[in-house]
Amino acid sequence: MTVTVDVAAWQVAARIASTIDPVFAMVDGWRDRLAAVLDGPAPPLAATLDPVVDALVRGALEEPGGLITGAGFVAAPGFLADRPWHLAWWLGVANTFGQGTGVRRLEAESDPDAEQFRDYTTLEWWRVPVRTGTRHLTGPYVDYLCTDDYTVTITTPVMVGGELVGVVGVDLYVARLEQVLLPVLRESGHPCTLVNASGRIAASTDSRRATGALLRLDGLAAALAPLREREGVPSEAARLPGGETVVPCGDTSLALVLEA
């Protein structure tokens, strides 16, 4: 069934997509660059890969007022000969996690026998893109590994010769996203909430709807199902039993939920 949506709502959805799409494009460019570097004759080593990753991501992490608070490459277990488990991940100038200021390397435990080791292959930002073979937007969630704050993580798999070698991606502070997106949401003319494909709130004009909480509305899970099942593919608007309208934000896997 075709759902009629006012022009203002579509314009808001398009502006949200235009905010996120450049991040997707940047990550896709990093993926292609890393795949080309790792497709060479030399055995892949963390010692030679890390400077490449640093050079790729540093500009985005140094950008004043930018959205990106962390970025890098996470290797598939066993891919790198000198580091079976490896995060080549950098924190940006706006990232308050850990010690230090400016752009700096994330200190992550890579010894699987150590008490502080974290098996990153169990985490959503790894599991989903590895399973689907396409990019994935995780969150909002509290990222205890890289930010210790509400975060959105965008990751995409890196393939070499048909083999998964890792994922490349970025972290974005939800608070910073809210600063950018809330003024846009208010232009819809309706009480409006931005959710991910699981219905988790990324931003809302309703102060009672907390960031990171699930938005519980009849029919919302079914309306968002196409975003989960065909991530990266635009879907259609939907009307909920309570009168709310769900409008996808391009192919970002985010959606607006507008009250009547």
208 CA to centre of own chain:
24
- What residues does each domain of the chain span? 7-17+176-258, 21-173
Q: Is the dihedral of CA 246, 249, 253, 255 positive or negative?
A: negative
Angle between helix axes 7-38 and 46-62 (nearest 10 degrees) is 150
The DSSP code for 76 is P
> 7-17+176-258 in CATH: which number?
3.30.450
pLDDT per residue rounded down to tens, the chain (260 residues): 556 678 889 999 999 999 999 999 999 999 999 999 999 888 899 999 999 999 999 999 999 889 999 999 999 999 999 999 999 999 999 898 877 789 999 999 998 899 999 999 999 999 999 999 999 999 999 998 888 899 999 999 999 999 999 999 999 999 999 999 999 999 998 899 999 999 999 999 999 999 999 999 999 999 999 988 776 556 789 999 999 999 999 989 999 999 97
Domains 7-17+176-258 and 21-173 share a fold: yes
Cα separation, 94 vs 82, whole angstroms: 31
pTM above 0.75, yes or no: yes
DSSP 96-119: -SSS-SSSEE------TTSTT---
**CATH assignment of 21-173?**
3.30.450.20
DSSP state of 212: T
Residue ranges with strand state E in the chain: 68-75, 87-91, 104-105, 136-142, 150-160, 163-173, 192-195, 201-204, 238-239, 245-248, 255-258
